[in-house]
């Protein structure tokens, strides 16, 4: 993705929006980081913002929404309508989708959840049960879990499959579970990359890992992340 100075292209974007030159606009913004697109949307007029956002592919739009301030998100949802927003929500990770759904007008929520796949809808509803400032309120339900006798080669294949099918975006660790899906250990991507293909996960997994519960306060969670220098951590009942 390109790194840019927004001021260098903002005037050109406003001219292209006025001309409704969709092709040229998409050529400019398609390679930008979602945070840069969000910054552009924050600097243009409301009607220009709605048009520019409406031409974003759903996956990019979902990433951009996660970067926008709540008042702008609310304006966009009201302008674009349920059908467009539903397609965007369907592309989001569960934690981002739950945050987004909790920020939009309440009357839109049931119809949006009815329009996305039932499994995704149920995940969002589950996350909405948790208080916003708890681990449950900020956790994602997408993760990679494999049995302890799975090999490194099988784990890498599963990661590639999930990424290719866009079922999960950010992967930092593999969770090793038993037949009843109980957590046994964690394998980091760095350990996975350094191991031989035939190595079983039980040989390289770490079992002395900190765990958090869904009702734990997010500040306490942040302290654990900082103390142990973590990028991800399992949330367990």
Percentage of the chain lying above the pLDDT 90 cut = 40
User: pLDDT-based confidence at 2, cuts 50/70/90?
Assistant: low
User: Does residue 97 register a pLDDT over 80?
Assistant: yes
Using an 8 Å Cβ cutoff, are 175 and 122 in contact? no
Q: Residue 105, class by beta-carbon neighbours within 10 Å (0-12 exposed, 13-18 middle, 19+ buried)?
A: exposed
pLDDT tens per residue across span 9-33: 888 999 999 999 999 999 988 889 9
- Band of the pLDDT at 94, cuts 50, 70, 90? confident
Contact 158, 146 (CB under 8 A): yes
* Dist CA 27 CA 126 (whole Å): 38
Q: Are 179 and 135 in contact (CB under 8 A)?
A: no
Say what the pLDDT of residue 73 is: 86
Q: Which CATH superfamily is domain 144-228 in?
A: CBS-domain (3.10.580.10)
Q: What is the pTM of this model?
A: 0.66
Looking at residue 3, what is its pLDDT? 58
Task: For residue 103, report the phi and psi dihedrals to the nearest 5 degrees.
Answer: -100, -10
What mean pLDDT comes out for the span 57-67? 84
Q: Check residues 119 and 230 and name the one with the higher pLDDT.
A: 119
By the 8 A CB rule, do 13 and 44 touch? yes
For the chain, which residues make up each domain, given as ranges? 6-129, 144-228
Please check whether the domain covering 6-129 is classified as CATH 1.25.60.10. Answer: yes
Q: How distant, in Å, are the alpha carbons of 187, 197, 214 from that of 233? A: 11, 25, 12
Q: Are 25 and 13 in contact (CB under 8 A)?
A: yes
As a whole number, the mean pLDDT across the chain is 88
Beta-sheet strands, E only, within 135-180: 144-147, 173-177
The string of pLDDT tens digits covering residues 123-181 is 899 888 888 788 888 787 788 999 999 999 999 999 999 888 767 777 889 999 999 98
**What is the mean predicted confidence (pLDDT) over 103-125?**
89
The tens digit of pLDDT for each residue in 192-222 reads 999 999 999 999 999 988 878 889 998 898 8
Residue 1 has pLDDT above 70, yes or no: no
């Amino acid at each position: 993705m390109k790194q840019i100075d927004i001021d260098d292209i903002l005037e050109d974007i406003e001219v292209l929006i006025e001309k409704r030159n969709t092709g040229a606009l998409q050529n400019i913004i398609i390679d930008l980081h979602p945070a840069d697109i969000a910054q552009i949307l924050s600097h243009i007029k409301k009607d220009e913002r709605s048009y520019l956002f409406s031409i974003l592919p759903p996956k990019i739009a979902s990433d951009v929404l996660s970067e926008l301030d709540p008042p702008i998100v609310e304006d966009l949802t009201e302008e674009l309508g349920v059908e467009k927003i539903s397609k965007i929500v369907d592309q989001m990770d569960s934690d981002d989708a739950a945050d987004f759904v909790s920020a939009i007008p309440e009357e839109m929520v049931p119809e949006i959840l009815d329009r996305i796949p039932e499994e995704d809808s149920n995940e969002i509803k589950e996350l909405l049960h948790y208080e916003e400032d708890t681990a449950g309120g900020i956790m994602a339900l997408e993760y990679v879990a494999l049995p302890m006798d799975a090999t490194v080669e099988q784990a890498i294949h599963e990661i590639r499959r999930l990424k290719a099918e866009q079922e999960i975006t950010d992967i930092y660790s593999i969770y090793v579970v038993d037949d009843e899906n109980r957590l046994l250990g964690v394998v980091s991507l760095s350990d996975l990359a350094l191991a031989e293909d035939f190595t079983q996960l039980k040989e390289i997994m770490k079992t002395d890992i900190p765990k958090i519960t869904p009702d734990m306060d997010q500040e306490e969670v942040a302290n654990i992340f900082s103390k142990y220098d973590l990028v991800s951590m399992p949330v367990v009942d």
